[in-house]
Chain A
Amino acid sequence: MSQTAEQPSAETNENLEVLTGKYLTFNLGEEEYAVGILKVREIIGVMDITPVPRVPQYIRGVINLRGKIIPVVALRSRFAMEQIEDTELTCIIVLELPFNGQNIPMGILVDSVQEVFELDLEHLADTPAFGAGINAEYLLGVGRLEQRVVMLLDVDRILNVEELNAVSQSVSPEQSSGGQA
């Protein structure tokens, strides 16, 4: 896996160069995704998650991570994928995301965790054009791993704290008035 890569064209090289490095891969259904290992703080098994009322659906709730309360985002829900029951393999990957100059911990709920691998330039490709209606902006690029294709997630964008907050604010009155009726 550590062969030196041939230099692709200079342009793509520049874009993809920053993406080389180690990744943690995980599954959502059959699909395989990856996040940069430097963002991963730890992986924990799924535990009882306390739901928080009137926040966006994809925020499953909060958990106690050694004395600190952290939110858990259900990635399936975030990508509007089909909901399934938690299994024995279901995991929470605790990520550290930059916010206001600090790194705040946040959990993502995934079906199962796969492996850690190193991506070099040779195995990287730009995000393919999926066509209209598909949010390719959540992807940094695509990695090829043996026969598999791994989507490199842009977690900073998917779990953008500002955005989550903005969404939760706009969603709340709707839901609350619904709850009251």
Chain B
Amino acid sequence: MGADTIQALVQTLSRDVKAMETDDVQFLANLHGQFEQLSDQLATVSLDRTRHATQAACELLESLILEPPDDAQHAVNTLQELIDALDGVICRDVDEAQITFPEALLPDDLASEPEPAPADIEDTTDTPDVMWTLPSTVDQEVIDEFLARQPGILEEMESVILQADQSDDRAAIDQMKRLLHTLKGESSLLGFTAVAEACHLAEDQLLTASVKELGESLLEMKDWLAVTFDRCAQGETLPACPVSRFRSPDGVKTAEQNRITRQSEVTGSDTEGRILNDPDGLIADFAQEANDHLDNAEDQLLALEAEPTNSEAINSVFRAFHTIKGVAGFLEFNDIQTLAHQAETLLDRIRKNTLELSSGLMDLFFDSSDQLKKLIANVQQCLKTGEPLCEDQQIQGLCDRLIAAIDGKVPTNNDSAGQTRSKLGDALVEKGAATDQQVSASLTTQADERGERRIGEILSNDQGVAAQSVGQALREQRQADAPAATPSSGTARQIKDIVKVDAERLDRMVDTIGELVIAETMVAQVVERLDAENTMDEHRVMNQLGKITRELQEMATSLRMVPVRSVFQRMARLARDVAKKVDKPINFQISGEETELDKAVVDQIADPLIHLVRNAIDHGIESSTEDRVQAGKDEAGQVHLRARYQGGNVQIEIEDDGRGMNRDAILSKAMERGIVTADQTLTDEQIYHLIFEPGFSMAQQVSEISGRGVGMDVVRRNVEAMRGKIEISTRAGQGTRLIIHLPLTMAIMEGMVLRVHHRRYIVPTLNIVRMFCPKQDDLSAAFDRYQCLTHGEDLLPICDLGTWLGVTDKPRDPTESVVVVVERDGALAALVADELIGQQQVVIKTLGATMRHAPGVAGGSIMPDGQVGLILDIEAVFRQHTMPKQEDRAA
């Protein structure tokens, strides 16, 4: 080790890079190995920048192999430059700080500023305006796909960090490391150098610190990642990492030390093992694919045995090992990676004709393949049972044999290779196909020939043992050697298969199924009209068709359902941050996070929840713990976030055990702000709903967290946009509970179909309080046009749908019509329609980009006859009919 080795390596590299051809994958892989070796060696001497550049070169090569870029020549030039720089540092002993490394390989700050800063100081405020952009060489589709996956990964990261807050265990560190590592690998491949670097540093620090200790920094980093990926998706420039310990070279020092400890850790092996967590199915996929590759490799090996010069077969086996190595490295299966790597290197020698493929080597490959299968089976087993994966120690012997073979020492009948052979001998003796003498004679012959021929070959050729029995014994032996591999392929298939589908395609399918339902109804009507006598068959077929269509429709809607978990976890994080900021002890609990909602609803519910959680903690919970203790409550404020099914809807509930809302205070505040006038009489429910009015705020001071009176307005708007409603119940001194009622899905709604003149309109059933035909006594009027309806104790404004919607000029006489009383935020109004057609489930569709703002209409739906029915926007009705004074002023 040391300077000499490094020098030798650099010299070889410099020769090889000059000769390199970018389309020779094999050669590239070889170079990659050399760079990796160099990087490892550099870790032993303290040349941080050089090592970083070398690692970057490895990554560059990796991307060259996996996805040949258009300008491969550029990469070659970069490597050339690197070699020159290396030559300077290593061979001519120039101080590495004075060498310019190729920019592509070293991030700016590292390239120009090697001076380390103190590691423990965290200047989160000092975010330098270093923007970075992505190289344009990477395929956009790959990036898109990568970006689409990130939110899930970041969420997982966050939940790991938050869980670690409560109980800090090894599993959290391992999981975090794995997440970071995956992200690092992918992002460096795609050119997110800053991300890759941050992940790398974080990963290194995790070796010495716990997730808990790094919690704040990690959370901040996660936020930064979210922003970065978001901006990247929009094609904007990307911000620099705000967390200094994950950005600047201050971490490099620690990283350096850690790398060494890590290496020793690896050689000492990770005995505690790691819990396999496979949310994306990556590992399951890998295991299945690796098995396929190995099966294929074995086929090819058998072909090779028959025809040792078959270069096609060699390449094929090589590819199999190479792929397995790559993915295993990515997923951090060190054993598999090491083994595959050694086997690959050996094959490479054979490919280049520096070694000849002897039967001893063939055995080695078969053994490697079997061992890999065992390792993979082990992975699958752990994945299935959830047990921690212990890296198998047994590969050491095999690896040593492979390394020896790489160095040109052809394996002989020592160690386990000999065991295999004698086992074959034993098997044959047992079967009576050969005698003990024959076997031992063959073994001696084999030793004399330095393992040039396989034992079976010698037995059948020299000793006259039947070739058939030798073959059979070999096959049986191979089966016995890999017992785990066979059942494992079965278990791999049991792991849930998940297909990711473009949301647009899904929508199109749902649309088409909707059309199918309509067509089915039409056909059914035709069948109804047929002669009743002879239509038994038709009816039977129609029944069946109906059943299938209904099933399809149900399936289509369930496709879009996702659990609210992701959003709830975000809220847990938020609650933690807010509690810290306002300095209140908070016990935040979530339940029912498995409740499933339409994906669109889940996406939209986050914003309102953010405000409600903030409010509950900032306003709901008492400011001082003494107040709480005096009131007989726990010191820590209890905030619960729950989700549950309720009928055809979902309820999301936020409950705190704080001071509750003060009805009179709200009312006086609202009057003060001119939201209500003194002469208005309001129910308690209506008063509580005043907090949702824009500009309303109970806060004496506008704080960083809340008090501007915007938040609650947002809550109401968003909930209404999802066709939900909010219910408030509060008791002074005991807490507040807000319940958001949401439809299960945005796509389907229970609606009442009304006829207005010759058109049909749909009113959401959720808003309907009552429907009836009023009598003259129920009505009263002012100025001939503002009609009112007496409903119990309330006087309701009347909205004549015909004139309001512009279908006719003449308002209908309510006594000859149907009146639908609708409710919103505790306020009521009466809609006048011609006729009730009936209640039905309608599939909601937007009217398209041009009609986004069509007033009074919330959307459309295809009616059973294929025409479009419009869904009324109840909110618009109230805007125009409940407070006419304000409306006039606004206009």
A binding-site residues for B, Cβ under 8 Å: 48, 50-55, 59, 61-64, 66-71, 99-100, 104-106, 161, 164-165, 168-169, 172-173, 175-177, 179-181
Residues from chain B with Cβ under 8 Å of A64 in the complex? 862, 866-868
Interface residues on chain B, number (Cβ under 8 Å): 33
Residues from chain B with Cβ under 8 Å of A104 in the complex? 848-850
Query: Does A54 contact B848, Cβ atoms closer than 8 Å?
Result: no
Give the residue name and chain of the B residue nearest to A104 (CB).
Answer: B849
Query: Does A179 contact B869, Cβ atoms closer than 8 Å?
Result: no
Residues from chain A with Cβ under 8 Å of B868 in the complex? 50, 61-64, 69
Query: Does A168 contact B847, Cβ atoms closer than 8 Å?
Result: no
Residues from chain B with Cβ under 8 Å of A55 in the complex? 851, 854
- Can you report 18 A-B residue pairs in the complex whose CB atoms are below 8 A from each other? A48-B867, A53-B870, A54-B855, A64-B866, A64-B867, A66-B515, A67-B862, A69-B846, A69-B862, A105-B848, A161-B850, A165-B853, A168-B853, A169-B853, A172-B855, A177-B891, A179-B806, A180-B804
Query: Does B848 contact A71, Cβ atoms closer than 8 Å?
Result: yes
User: A64-B868, A69-B862, A177-B891 given as contacts; is B806 within 8 A of A54 (CB)?
Assistant: yes
Binary per-residue interface labels of chain B (794-823) against chain A in the complex, 1 for a CB within 8 Å, 0 otherwise: 000000000111110000000000000000
Further pairs besides A62-B848, A68-B845, A180-B880: 19, Cβ < 8 Å: A50-B869, A52-B847, A53-B804, A54-B855, A55-B854, A59-B850, A62-B847, A62-B851, A62-B868, A64-B868, A67-B511, A67-B515, A67-B845, A168-B851, A168-B853, A176-B855, A176-B880, A177-B891, A181-B785
Residues from chain B with Cβ under 8 Å of A99 in the complex? 849
Query: Does A168 contact B854, Cβ atoms closer than 8 Å?
Result: yes
Residues from chain B with Cβ under 8 Å of A68 in the complex? 511, 845
Residues from chain B with Cβ under 8 Å of A59 in the complex? 850-851
Provide the bound-state CA to CA distance between A161 and B850, in Å: 6
Provide the bound-state CA to CA distance between A70 and B759, in Å: 18
Provide the bound-state CA to CA distance between A43 and B868, in Å: 19
- Asked if B425 is at the interface (CB within 8 A of a chain A CB), the reply is no
In chain B, residues 507-538, which have Cβ atoms closer than 8 Å to a Cβ of chain A? 511-512, 514-515
Residues from chain A with Cβ under 8 Å of B847 in the complex? 52, 62, 69, 71
Q: A166 to nearest B CB, angstroms? A: 9
Query: Does B514 contact A67, Cβ atoms closer than 8 Å?
Result: yes
Query: Does A164 contact B850, Cβ atoms closer than 8 Å?
Result: yes
Q: B22 to nearest A CB, angstroms? A: 35
Provide the bound-state CA to CA distance between A59 and B866, in Å: 20
Query: Does B857 contact A52, Cβ atoms closer than 8 Å?
Result: yes
- Asked if B852 is at the interface (CB within 8 A of a chain A CB), the reply is yes
Q: A137 to nearest B CB, angstroms? A: 20
Query: Does B862 contact A71, Cβ atoms closer than 8 Å?
Result: no
Binary per-residue interface labels of chain B (353-378) against chain A in the complex, 1 for a CB within 8 Å, 0 otherwise: 00000000000000000000000000
Give the residue name and chain of the A residue nearest to B805 (CB).
Answer: A53
Query: Does B849 contact A100, Cβ atoms closer than 8 Å?
Result: yes
Residues from chain B with Cβ under 8 Å of A169 in the complex? 853
In chain B, residues 847-891, which have Cβ atoms closer than 8 Å to a Cβ of chain A? 847-857, 860, 862, 866-870, 880, 891
Query: Does A66 contact B891, Cβ atoms closer than 8 Å?
Result: no
Residues from chain B with Cβ under 8 Å of A105 in the complex? 848
Give the residue name and chain of the A residue nearest to B786 (CB).
Answer: A180
Residues from chain B with Cβ under 8 Å of A181 in the complex? 785
Provide the bound-state CA to CA distance between A77 and B670, in Å: 47
Give the residue name and chain of the B residue nearest to A54 (CB).
Answer: B855
Provide the bound-state CA to CA distance between A147 and B866, in Å: 43
Provide the bound-state CA to CA distance between A169 and B806, in Å: 17
User: A63-B868, A67-B862, A180-B804 given as contacts; is B856 within 8 A of A106 (CB)?
Assistant: no
Residues from chain B with Cβ under 8 Å of A70 in the complex? 848
Residues from chain B with Cβ under 8 Å of A48 in the complex? 867
Provide the bound-state CA to CA distance between A64 and B866, in Å: 7
Residues from chain A with Cβ under 8 Å of B846 in the complex? 69
Q: B491 to nearest A CB, angstroms? A: 41
Give the residue name and chain of the B residue nearest to A66 (CB).
Answer: B515
Residues from chain B with Cβ under 8 Å of A173 in the complex? 891
Most A C-beta atoms less than 10 A away, residue of B846, B849, B869 = B849
Give the residue name and chain of the B residue nearest to A164 (CB).
Answer: B850
Give the residue name and chain of the A residue nearest to B856 (CB).
Answer: A53
Closest 5 CB pairs of A and B: A67-B511, A50-B868, A67-B515, A53-B805, A164-B850
Provide the bound-state CA to CA distance between A164 and B891, in Å: 21
Query: Does B804 contact A52, Cβ atoms closer than 8 Å?
Result: no
Residues from chain A with Cβ under 8 Å of B805 in the complex? 53
Binary per-residue interface labels of chain B (710-739) against chain A in the complex, 1 for a CB within 8 Å, 0 otherwise: 000000000000000000000000000000
Give the residue name and chain of the A residue nearest to B867 (CB).
Answer: A48
User: A50-B860, A62-B868, A69-B862 given as contacts; is B851 within 8 A of A175 (CB)?
Assistant: no
Residues from chain A with Cβ under 8 Å of B848 in the complex? 62, 69-71, 104-106
Residues from chain B with Cβ under 8 Å of A54 in the complex? 806, 854-856
Residues from chain A with Cβ under 8 Å of B511 in the complex? 66-68
Binary per-residue interface labels of chain B (245-263) against chain A in the complex, 1 for a CB within 8 Å, 0 otherwise: 0000000000000000000
Which of A53, A67, A168, A177 makes the CB contact (< 8 A) with B806?
A53
Q: B795 to nearest A CB, angstroms? A: 19
Provide the bound-state CA to CA distance between A99 and B850, in Å: 10
Residues from chain A with Cβ under 8 Å of B851 in the complex? 52, 55, 59, 62, 71, 168
Residues from chain A with Cβ under 8 Å of B515 in the complex? 66-67
Residues from chain B with Cβ under 8 Å of A164 in the complex? 850
Q: A72 to nearest B CB, angstroms? A: 10
Provide the bound-state CA to CA distance between A169 and B850, in Å: 11
Residues from chain A with Cβ under 8 Å of B850 in the complex? 59, 71, 104, 106, 161, 164-165, 168
Provide the bound-state CA to CA distance between A175 and B880, in Å: 13
Provide the bound-state CA to CA distance between A101 and B605, in Å: 26
Q: B852 to nearest A CB, angstroms? A: 6
Give the residue name and chain of the A residue nearest to B845 (CB).
Answer: A69
Residues from chain A with Cβ under 8 Å of B856 in the complex? 53-54, 176
Query: Does B854 contact A52, Cβ atoms closer than 8 Å?
Result: yes
Provide the bound-state CA to CA distance between A177 and B856, in Å: 13
Provide the bound-state CA to CA distance between A54 and B806, in Å: 8
Q: A68 to nearest B CB, angstroms? A: 6
Provide the bound-state CA to CA distance between A151 and B857, in Å: 36
Which of B785, B845, B862, B870 makes the CB contact (< 8 A) with A52?
B870
Provide the bound-state CA to CA distance between A50 and B870, in Å: 8
Residues from chain B with Cβ under 8 Å of A161 in the complex? 849-850
Provide the bound-state CA to CA distance between A52 and B871, in Å: 10
Which of A53, A66, A179 makes the CB contact (< 8 A) with B854?
A53
In chain B, residues 746-799, which have Cβ atoms closer than 8 Å to a Cβ of chain A? 759, 785
Q: A1 to nearest B CB, angstroms? A: 36
Residues from chain A with Cβ under 8 Å of B867 in the complex? 48, 50, 64
Residues from chain B with Cβ under 8 Å of A62 in the complex? 847-848, 851, 860, 868, 870
In chain B, residues 827-849, which have Cβ atoms closer than 8 Å to a Cβ of chain A? 845-849
Provide the bound-state CA to CA distance between A172 and B853, in Å: 9
Q: B787 to nearest A CB, angstroms? A: 12
Residues from chain B with Cβ under 8 Å of A63 in the complex? 868
Provide the bound-state CA to CA distance between A176 and B511, in Å: 33
Q: B192 to nearest A CB, angstroms? A: 23
Provide the bound-state CA to CA distance between A67 and B853, in Å: 21
Q: A49 to nearest B CB, angstroms? A: 8
Q: A83 to nearest B CB, angstroms? A: 17
Q: A86 to nearest B CB, angstroms? A: 16
Q: A149 to nearest B CB, angstroms? A: 30
Give the residue name and chain of the B residue nearest to A168 (CB).
Answer: B853
Binary per-residue interface labels of chain B (304-336) against chain A in the complex, 1 for a CB within 8 Å, 0 otherwise: 000000000000000000000000000000000
Q: A66 to nearest B CB, angstroms? A: 6
Give the residue name and chain of the A residue nearest to B881 (CB).
Answer: A180
Residues from chain A with Cβ under 8 Å of B807 in the complex? 51, 53
Which of A50, A71, A106 makes the CB contact (< 8 A) with B759?
A50
Residues from chain B with Cβ under 8 Å of A61 in the complex? 868
Residues from chain B with Cβ under 8 Å of A165 in the complex? 849-850, 852-853
Residues from chain B with Cβ under 8 Å of A180 in the complex? 785, 803-804, 880
Q: B824 to nearest A CB, angstroms? A: 18
Query: Does B860 contact A69, Cβ atoms closer than 8 Å?
Result: yes
